[in-house]
């Protein structure tokens, strides 16, 4: 959940590091710091708050020429896990000599025992962090070879890490290593960049190397020497990112979130392109790496994920049952990994994760593999840990999702899940004609979303009536129930309104007690099976004074007349309608948050990728 950057190359290392941190700020942003080697001394600058505060602090503390002549450094933007977000707890952390500096993403589980042992040897700690303990451990192990010292220290560590280490005793190199937290190395021309993800590398090179767990690398301006923790050489291929820097910019929008909502037609087209076969009425998902026979023999699909990805899985659950006659269930990844799941070779476990680094989802993948299940993933980040550890699955091709609130990843996840369900269904009872019709429905998704986005001004006007509320309820039935959950998550995480999603039938079993005059109920009443029951639930809410914002199918005037406000959703297959419906709720939530003056792209307390439990 933190962002780390390392640079070794030409000059002006502090500027390169700070610019890199800016690209990673969405991973965590409560404090930041950097360390450079200057005249073979380790010089450190840290500040609470965002990267801009660090930039100001460093430039005020250091003479300008120090910025220009330093050519090696490491930096960090933090999402606090141990100790509050203060300057003392900010990374980098130094060893007892002050000559070794470390930045770290992850959690050292046994840091207390290590700290006690080091304190017994006279070490003094200034922070409350696990990372400072690792810095001291490396210093303690340093017998004149920094690489070996890092290996020896990491052999004593339990937990996860993505680290970069420099030493005044060994100028000209950075040691980097990973276990459970991502590290990607950008191979430039006379310069090398280390980062938590590729968005910090784009400005320098498209050529990258992804470290695997327990890889450790000796990095110089012209070389990357990768070993395992036993000093055995390891070969990792250089990959091409294929991303342009503009993809990481806002493109003229006020927020990354609005940009990412509006680019969904294009992202969905990219997610679908080349993956539908209208001749056989199926989908072409080569990454699944499974034969028709293997798919036909599957007995169950288990979808695991967290947050928005979990909600996408809930839509997938309906799709696999409706289209493929397959028993399917959704498990919250943290629950799945600890409940000792009953799994076997006829079970397909699909791990859903935009970042591909969510710790609980990664752990669920490892547990599913341990139990002998068929495991694959739906990820957006190419080369991410979950993608690599499952070894098969489908990439979303949604492009970098910078805003902490996930939008385009969700809709692309659902689109891919619909294609997976179509593929599985055509290997079972789904006919060619049914398959062709559903493939055509999927192919229309970008246009359906475009029709909702064109209502952006209308939705912004509707949102204005809901800005003052502190509570809101989202309700839906069938595949629109997970859409209600997702809509509530969007509103709560960016506007800080207490929003809850419920199955429409569930309100009367308790939550309706909370309705008072004017309480907003956002009701998904599209013209799909169960609509009339939902209209009945809406009447129950109106009888208690609730204000109803309805999502209704275009032309359904009967439903529209039941609402105080409404947004029109194009008529399409119920499973497909989940995508334009959620886009309406994304825009609604965005405009409510904007009108409330909220941060939106980096909401308080959140991070884009939750790489700790």
Asked if residue 160 binds ligand AGP (CB under 6 A), the reply is no
Residue count at the site for ligand AGP (CB under 6 A)?
16
DSSP letter, residue 348: E
When binding is defined by CB under 6 A, the residue of 75, 405, 417, 497 that contacts ligand AGP is: 405
When binding is defined by CB under 6 A, the residue of 31, 205, 358, 537 that contacts ligand AGP is: 358
For residue 505, count CB atoms less than 10 angstroms from its CB and return exposed for 0-12, middle for 13-18, buried for 19 or more.
middle
Asked if residue 485 binds ligand AGP (CB under 6 A), the reply is no
Which lies closer to ligand AGP via its Cβ, residue 490 or residue 547?
490
When binding is defined by CB under 6 A, the residue of 19, 105, 205, 361 that contacts ligand AGP is: 361
Which lies closer to ligand AGP via its Cβ, residue 202 or residue 494?
494
Which lies closer to ligand AGP via its Cβ, residue 129 or residue 358?
358
Q: Least separation, in Å, of the C-beta of 384 and ligand AGP?
A: 9
3-class DSSP assignment, residue 355? coil
Region class of 372: left (phi > 0), else alpha (psi between -120 and 50), else beta: left
Q: Which of 395, 474, 402 is nearest to 199 (CA)?
A: 402
Asked if residue 105 binds ligand AGP (CB under 6 A), the reply is no
When binding is defined by CB under 6 A, the residue of 72, 150, 306, 598 that contacts ligand AGP is: 306
Measured CA to CA, the distance from residue 287 to residue 98 in angstroms comes to 48
608 has catalytic annotation: yes
Asked if residue 290 binds ligand AGP (CB under 6 A), the reply is no
Whether cis (ω within 30° of 0) applies to the bond prior to 92 is yes
CA 462 to chain centre: 29
Asked if residue 309 binds ligand AGP (CB under 6 A), the reply is yes
Asked if residue 359 binds ligand AGP (CB under 6 A), the reply is no
What is the number of helices (H) and of strands (E) in the chain? 21, 26
Pick the catalytic residue from 408, 490, 492, 608: 608
Q: Least separation, in Å, of the C-beta of 559 and ligand AGP?
A: 28
Q: Which of 107, 136, 158 is nearest to 2 (CA)?
A: 107
- Asked whether 360 and 367 are in contact (CB, 8 A), the reply is no
Asked if residue 315 binds ligand AGP (CB under 6 A), the reply is no
171 Cβ contact partners less than 8 Å away, ≥ 6 residues apart: 37, 40, 72
3-class DSSP assignment, residue 47? strand
CB burial readout 340-372, b (16+ within 10 A) else e: ebebeeebbbbbbbbbbbbbbbbbbbebbbebe
Which lies closer to ligand AGP via its Cβ, residue 186 or residue 307?
307
562 has catalytic annotation: no
Report DSSP letters for 564-595, one per residue: SEEEEE----HHHHHHHHHHHHHHHHHHHHHH
Q: Least separation, in Å, of the C-beta of 390 and ligand AGP?
A: 13
When binding is defined by CB under 6 A, the residue of 89, 385, 589, 609 that contacts ligand AGP is: 609
Q: Which residues pair with 11 in a beta bridge?
A: none
Q: Least separation, in Å, of the C-beta of 413 and ligand AGP?
A: 8
Asked if residue 404 binds ligand AGP (CB under 6 A), the reply is yes
Asked if residue 55 binds ligand AGP (CB under 6 A), the reply is no
Q: What is the dihedral of CA 240, 244, 247, 248, to 10 degrees?
A: 80
Measured CA to CA, the distance from residue 98 to residue 60 in angstroms comes to 22
Q: Least separation, in Å, of the C-beta of 357 and ligand AGP?
A: 7
How long is the chain? 613
Asked if residue 568 binds ligand AGP (CB under 6 A), the reply is no
Which lies closer to ligand AGP via its Cβ, residue 331 or residue 553?
331
Pick the catalytic residue from 2, 267, 412, 598: 2
Angle at Cα 414 formed by Cα 411 and Cα 419, nearest 5°?
130
Instruction: Determine the residue with CB nearest ligand AGP.
Output: 307
Asked if residue 377 binds ligand AGP (CB under 6 A), the reply is no
Angle at Cα 36 formed by Cα 604 and Cα 29, nearest 5°?
5
Which lies closer to ligand AGP via its Cβ, residue 282 or residue 602?
602
Asked if residue 384 binds ligand AGP (CB under 6 A), the reply is no
Asked if residue 537 binds ligand AGP (CB under 6 A), the reply is no
Which lies closer to ligand AGP via its Cβ, residue 9 or residue 356?
356
Which lies closer to ligand AGP via its Cβ, residue 96 or residue 369?
369
Task: Please report the beta strands in 67-171, taking only residues with DSSP state E, as ranges in sequence order.
Answer: 72-78, 93-94, 100-105, 161-167
Q: Least separation, in Å, of the C-beta of 402 and ligand AGP?
A: 12
Region class of 490: left (phi > 0), else alpha (psi between -120 and 50), else beta: alpha
Asked if residue 493 binds ligand AGP (CB under 6 A), the reply is yes
Which lies closer to ligand AGP via its Cβ, residue 295 or residue 306?
306
293 Cβ contact partners less than 8 Å away, ≥ 6 residues apart: none
Asked if residue 553 binds ligand AGP (CB under 6 A), the reply is no
Site for ligand AGP in 337-356 (CB under 6 A): 353-355
Asked if residue 307 binds ligand AGP (CB under 6 A), the reply is yes
Query: Interface with ligand AGP by CB under 6 A: which residues?
Result: 306-309, 353-355, 358, 361, 404-406, 489, 493, 609-610
What are the catalytic residues?
2, 608
């Amino acid at each position: 959940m933190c962002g780390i950057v390392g640079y070794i190359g030409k000059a002006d290392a502090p500027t390169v590091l700070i610019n890199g941190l800016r690209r990673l700020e969405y991973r965590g942003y409560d404090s930041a710091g950097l360390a450079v080697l200057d005249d073979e001394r380790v010089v450190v600058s840290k500040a609470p708050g965002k990267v801009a505060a660090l930039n100001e602090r460093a430039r005020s503390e250091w003479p300008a020429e120090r910025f220009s002549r330093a050519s090696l450094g490491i930096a960090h933007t933090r999402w606090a896990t141990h100790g509050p977000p203060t300057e003392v707890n900010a990374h980098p952390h130094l060893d007892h000599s002050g000559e070794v500096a470390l930045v770290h993403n992850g959690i050292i589980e046994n840091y207390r025992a290590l700290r006690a042992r080091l304190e017994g040897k006279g070490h003094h700690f200034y922070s409350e962090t696990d990372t400072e303990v690792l810095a001291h451990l490396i210093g303690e192990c340093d017998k004149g070879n920094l690489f070996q010292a890092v290996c020896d220290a990491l052999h004593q560590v339990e937990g996860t890490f993505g680290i970069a280490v420099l030493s005044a005793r060994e100028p000209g190199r950075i040691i980097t290593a990973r276990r459970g937290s991502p590290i990607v190395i950008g191979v430039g021309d006379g310069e090398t960049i280390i980062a938590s993800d590729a968005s910090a590398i784009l400005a320098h090179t498209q050529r990258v190397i992804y470290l695997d767990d327990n890889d450790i690398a000796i990095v110089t301006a012209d070389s990357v020497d990768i070993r395992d923790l036993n000093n055995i050489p390891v070969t990792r291929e250089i990959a091409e990112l294929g991303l342009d820097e503009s993809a990481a910019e806002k493109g003229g929008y006020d927020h990354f979130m609005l940009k990412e909502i509006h680019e969904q037609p294009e992202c969905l087209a990219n997610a679908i392109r080349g993956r539908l076969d209208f001749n056989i009425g199926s989908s072409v998902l080569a990454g699944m790496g499974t034969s028709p026979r293997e798919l036909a023999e599957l007995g169950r699909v288990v979808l695991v994920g967290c947050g928005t990805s979990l909600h996408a899985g809930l839509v997938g659950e309906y799709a696999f049952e409706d289209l493929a006659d397959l028993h399917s269930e959704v498990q919250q990844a943290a629950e799945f990994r600890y409940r000792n799941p009953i799994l076997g070779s006829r079970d397909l476990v699909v791990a859903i994760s935009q970042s591909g680094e969510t710790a609980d989802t990664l752990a669920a993948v490892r547990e599913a593999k341990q139990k002998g299940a068929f495991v694959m993933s739906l990820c957006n980040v190419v080369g991410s840990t979950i993608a690599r550890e499952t070894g098969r699955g489908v990439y979303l091709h949604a492009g970098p999702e910078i805003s902490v609130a996930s939008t385009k990843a969700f809709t692309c996840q659902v689109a891919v899940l619909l294609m997976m369900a179509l593929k599985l269904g055509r290997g079972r009872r789904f006919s060619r004609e049914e398959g062709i019709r559903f493939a055509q429905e999927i192919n229309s998704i970008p246009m359906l979303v475009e029709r909702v986005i064109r209502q952006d001004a209308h939705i912004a006007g509707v949102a204005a009536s809901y800005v003052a509320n502190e509570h809101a309820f989202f309700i839906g039935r069938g595949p629109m129930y997970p859409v209600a959950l997702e809509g509530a998550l969007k509103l709560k995480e960016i506007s800080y309104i207490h929003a809850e999603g419920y199955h429409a039938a569930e309100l009367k079993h308790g939550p309706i007690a909370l309705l008072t005059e004017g309480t907003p109920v956002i009701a998904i009443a599209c013209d799909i099976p169960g609509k009339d029951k939902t209209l009945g639930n809406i009447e129950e809410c109106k009888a208690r004074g609730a204000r109803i914002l309805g999502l209704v199918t275009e032309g359904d005037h009967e439903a529209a007349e039941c609402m105080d406000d409404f947004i029109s959703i194009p008529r399409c297959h119920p499973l497909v309608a989940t995508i334009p419906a959620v886009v309406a709720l994304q825009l609604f939530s965005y405009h409510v948050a904007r009108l409330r003056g909220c941060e939106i792209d980096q909401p308080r307390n959140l991070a884009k990728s939750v790489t700790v439990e």
